[in-house]
Amino acid sequence: MAANTLNDDFQKYIDILKEELSYVEDNSFSWDDVISVLIIQLKNTDSLNKKEQNASHATQIQLTGEKEPENGTSKTEDFFPTFTLNSSFKGWRLSLPVRINRQNIARIGGKSSDSKEWIGDSIQIRRRILNQDETGKGNPNLQICYGNDLLPLRELLEVDDYLVITKRKKIAAYEAFGVKSNIDLGSGKNMYSSGTAANDGTVFEVTIKASNESENENDEYQRAASIISQHISESGLEFTATRAEIENARQEFLSRFSPSILEALSENELLNNVFYSAGDNTYSLCCYLEMNKECRNYFGSISGGSAYKFGLFQKKDTGLWTTGSPQKPKELSEQEALDLGKEIVEALIKGARIIEKTELNSLEDYEALDDHLKDEVGERFYNWAWFHKYYSIIFNEKLSSFHNNEWQKHVLRCFCIRPSEKYYTRSGQIAMIQNYAGLRYREFIDAIRDKFGESKQFVRIGTTNSSGEESFASDWKEKSMVAIGWGQTGSLTEYETSQGIDKQGLAEALKEKYYPGDDSTSTRKAGELARFYNTGDNTVFVAVKGQELKGLVDNIGPYKYDSSDEFAHIKPGRWCVGFANGEHLPNPSEGKLTSCFEISDEDNLLYLYKKYYYPEDFDQDLVDDNDPEEYNKKMFRSWMERQVKPEGDSDAGEAYSSNSIDQYVSNIANTPLYSMSEKSVFFTTDIKLIQKTISELDSAEKKNNTQRSAVKKYLQYVIDTGESDMSVVFKTNIKAKYERNRIVFGAPGTGKSFLLKQDCDRLLDDTVGTYERVTFHPDYTYSQFVGTYKPVMDSDGRSIRYDFVPGPFMRVYVDALKSARTEAPQPHLLLIEEINRAKVAAVFGDVFQLLDRDADGVSEYEIQASEDIRRYLAKELGGTEEKYKKIRIPNNMFIWATMNSADQGVYPMDTAFKRRWNFEYLGIDEKEKDIENIGKVNIAKYDEPVVWNRLRKAINTKMSKDFNINEDKLMGPFFLSKKVLDSDENGMIKDPEKFMDAFKSKVIMYLYEDAVKQSKRKFFDGCDSSKYSSVCDAFDEIGMNIFGANFISSYYEQKRDDAE
């Protein structure tokens, strides 16, 4: 790129532009006022977006090799405000004003226009370092991103055309023009300046591109950078180290421990220069990272724990090299230590090389980096904190100085950014904020600690007495305290040991005083009391009444004991944040039925962090009972943010986007409420009124399905969140024409699944009921079907806990019970495919007894629920576990299944199981009308198109007539799917090749391996049938003749004649 040019070149190109674009001059623009011009000839790399094959939204300018200004020349990036040159701000995308001439746009597009109008827009400038090496050096790159109005001009420009940006004297704005390639403005990307440009001194009002929901993912990181930058500015924060001190310390570190230096270590040097040894560790890498004063202060701490965290160290007292853990130490010989040390260092260097070569500009880039490091460096090493600190010092713009998992999550939550589950991705998320804020290392750490303080622990604390009716929140708020019961244990200080609270001793006291004979409850409550006792400065209590939030309490003081108080165990604290009436957590059941519980659900934590650090953001949401529409709108939106799209949607299981939620809210807000047209549906939570509104929408002359769907979703919200007396209801007023327990059976391809799906849609039509589909197989178990305790990953992504994980039966059962106790119970359906491919008696277990239904559709006999199920139902439905000791299936729960009685690998059902179901048989030709005019295809050795349904019936006739094959082994009309049979208006199959492949892989395979397996040589007597592949090859060559010489005349054409 010709980066440096003389003033003569500037005037040359200005004269060309003045002649070519004279029509843009007016009283606001003259070419004589231009002092600098940037001429960009567009090439493939920046004129097309390779992914979408349309105009790119950005142009990249490589700055590598540019000289410092001398002899009247200029650097390209000096064209923009000097602010962008400061290395502190390389991560910013700066928004600068630009004008576009409407007549220029028209002419570039080949149209005529007399318009003199200028359009105001902006461009965003971002300076980046690409391919950064371990010393921080790389290729400077200037990125110009176009605004919404400038983009249409860009889209009209083709390869080799020019984008011209001008700067006028003393004007804090630019102009942008398009010029076609027939005008010679040189090649490449060049900046030309007049002799007066250097003295211009224009002061720009430089802003960061504003964030909004439609912008890309980086906007939340820009917003975070704005928050921390504003805090620094407003607070007058002084950093504990200067930029020069930090950079000097970094260069000192690199001079000792850069990857190239570590690579050069000999075997004799490696152990002592990298790991803790029995000698002087001042300049060993591990000690330097942990203990060196400047390294610890400037680049983040990894102190704490033992030397085992480095993977290898030498004990001072014995001189033995050791690895493993404090619980399982392993002593090594000198050679073993050297081998392990080399393995660790090689992994460390490999990771550095990977990071060095990886361009990291987005969350996806960091996700990929984490996976790459895990694969190449090794799962054992890659997420060691000292590895991460080493990398962060070398690559100061790519990784953050927070090496601890909890601190990483704390920082991101403070900015209301969801932390990734991956270690290096979280570090990258923080690095993006640092880069946008232009902060490095200790600067960012200082700012975070000053703005947000230490990492927080949010602990849910109940405020009600044992009956759950009376809340003491107001009393505690007045006294600036929180408290917990079980006062008869005595002061918790009596249970304090050098290892913390003696939970076993506390559990024994609880068992004696409160829970005789109940070890489980005593132990659990002892844990809650210990958790309360251990809270401190960095704890924020989340006070609740049931599921309703009452307040946040911080500044937690020392423990006190008052035996005279019902809540004897006390902690002083500041009630700092309040909540609106009825406000609850996004996932309100977390910690339910416990008195003191640490919040770990990520949705709940993000909600609480925002409430704690940005309470002003909630002010507009604090609505009272006098404004039910705004309150219900807010609560509905909060509920929608926790929902996923239901089964049946193309993207089932995915969360709703912000735009989707906005559309739901808008549609509901614009729907008049039945009999109260001046109010929207948000005005009420009355189920019957909402249902009448839906009926009114159905009867409207002009249907609005989008509006109707939105109101149905609101109805589902009202049912899910409505207040309830916590009673368990099995008998509802629901009516249905379908059987509750139903099995549809028949030959393969008769449309059993299709029929049940049709009936499912009819059953759930005009309801907010749900369905779930499951397919049985030979290894399917009761635990999978009903549920069981399983190890699950905790929210930190690293620890394991055991939770009851419900199966499809239990999920549908809970949905049905929730709905059953509302004013408008909804149907809920469990669909089981291939029910007899599993051992049904074992899969259903004791649930088998519930399948007996009475005349109302309720289980005739109840069963005793296990302790696990009772606990799970209490958690999901509310109330005590006692309430769910005996359970039945409610009559709004339907269980339907399909069955192929003749399939290989099926299990028999006993009579007792069968009599609890209503069996429906689908005949072999019962649904053939659905395909009678489609499915025609040309096949070898037959002069006219072959009709699939006719061919199927001909094959069935040969099987039943000549080989005595039972009907349940014959093929139904949907043995080949509708996708395979997709036909044009003449009934011809659109994709004949797909049909041929399906016929061979499904029809011939089924016949050969199953239906006529014992007689396949006689059945395929028109070809070599010694191998399945031989039959397929023959079908390609002779078509239907594989079934014998007389098959066409005696079977296929007979079926044609019968049809005619």
**Do residue 700 and residue 615 come from a single domain?**
no
Q: Where are the alpha helices (DSSP H) in 112-218?
A: 150-156
What confidence category does residue 211 fall into, taking pLDDT thresholds of 50, 70 and 90?
very low
Among the candidates 922, 937, 967, a domain finishes at 922
Distance CA 755, CA 927 (A): 10
Tell me phi and psi for residue 832, to 5 degrees: -110, 120
The reply to whether 692 falls in a domain is yes
Question: Judging by beta carbons within 10 Å of its beta carbon (0-12, 13-18, 19+), is residue 51 exposed, middle or buried?
Answer: exposed
pLDDT band at 476, cuts 50/70/90?
very high
Q: Quick one: 716 and 761 in the same domain?
A: no
Specify whether 520 is located in the same domain as 605: yes
Q: What is the 3-state secondary structure (H, E, C) of 547-578?
A: CEEEEEEECCCCCEECCCCCCCEEEECEEEEC
* Residue 73: pLDDT over 70: no
Does residue 732 lie within any of the structural domains? no
Which of 660, 692, 721 represents a domain boundary (last residue)?
721
Is 730 within the bounds of a domain? Answer: no
Residue 716 tokens, joined:
């589902």
Mean pLDDT of 257-274: 94
Find the helix or strand (DSSP H, E) in which 595 lies: none
Shared domain check, 673 and 592: no
Q: What is the CATH number of the domain that holds 841?
A: 3.40.50.300
Average pLDDT over the chain, rounded to whole?
Answer: 84
Please report whether residue 331 resides in a domain: yes
Q: What is the pLDDT of residues 636-681, one digit of tens each?
A: 888 888 788 877 676 777 888 877 888 899 889 989 988 888 889 9
Residue with tokens 């000999």: 266
At 197, which amino acid appears?
A
Residue 235 lies in a domain: no
| Same domain, yes or no: 21 and 93 | yes
**What range does the domain containing 149 cover?**
7-209
Q: Specify the range with the lowest mean pLDDT, choosing from 114-128, 849-863, 969-983, 989-1003.
A: 114-128
Percent of the chain at pLDDT exceeding 70: 86
Which residue stretches of 170-292 are H helix? 219-235, 243-257, 259-263, 267-274, 285-291
Q: What is the pLDDT of residues 946-966, one digit of tens each?
A: 999 999 999 999 999 999 988
Q: What is the 3-state secondary structure (H, E, C) of 918-940?
A: EEEEECCCCCHHHHCCCCEECCC
pLDDT-derived band of residue 822, with 50, 70 and 90 as boundaries? confident
| Sequence-ordered alpha helix ranges (H) in 134-209 | 150-156
Is residue 124 in a domain? yes
Nearest residue to 899 via CA among 1005, 781, 775 = 775
Same domain, yes or no, for 147 and 98? yes
Helix H segments across 703-834?
705-721, 752-764, 782-785, 808-820
Question: What are the Cα distances from residue 687, in Å, to 583, 586, 716?
Answer: 21, 22, 9
Which pair of tokens denotes residue 510? Answer: 């609880």
Q: Whole-prediction pTM value?
A: 0.51
Cβ count near 66 (within 10 Å): 18
**Does 530 lie in the same domain as 593?**
yes
Check whether residue 54 and residue 102 sit in a common domain: yes
Residue 605 maps to which CATH number? 3.10.590
775 and 703 assigned to the same domain: no
Is 229 inside a domain boundary? no
Q: Is the residue at 784 inside a domain?
A: yes
State whether 865 and 850 are in the same domain.
yes
Report the C-alpha gap between 396 and 635 in whole angstroms.
43
HSE on the CB side for 704, CA within 13 Å? 15
Domain final residue pick, 601, 621, 641: 621
Residues 433 and 569 in one domain: no
The per-residue pLDDT for range 183-195, each reduced to its tens digit, is 999 888 888 888 7
Instruction: Let me know: does 413 contact 600? Beta carbons within 8 Å.
Output: no
| DSSP classification of residue 859 | B
User: What would the two tokens of residue 477 be?
Assistant: 């708020």
Asked if the model's pLDDT at residue 132 lies above 60, the reply is: no
Per-residue pLDDT averaged across 193-203, rounded? 66
Same domain, 915 and 962: no
pLDDT of 3 higher than 50? no
Write b or e for each residue in 747-785: b if 16 or more Cβ atoms lie within 10 A of its Cβ, otherwise e: bbbbbbbbbbbebbeebbeebbbbbbbbebeeebebebb
Q: What is the pLDDT, as a whole number, of residue 217?
A: 47
- Total domains in the chain come to 6
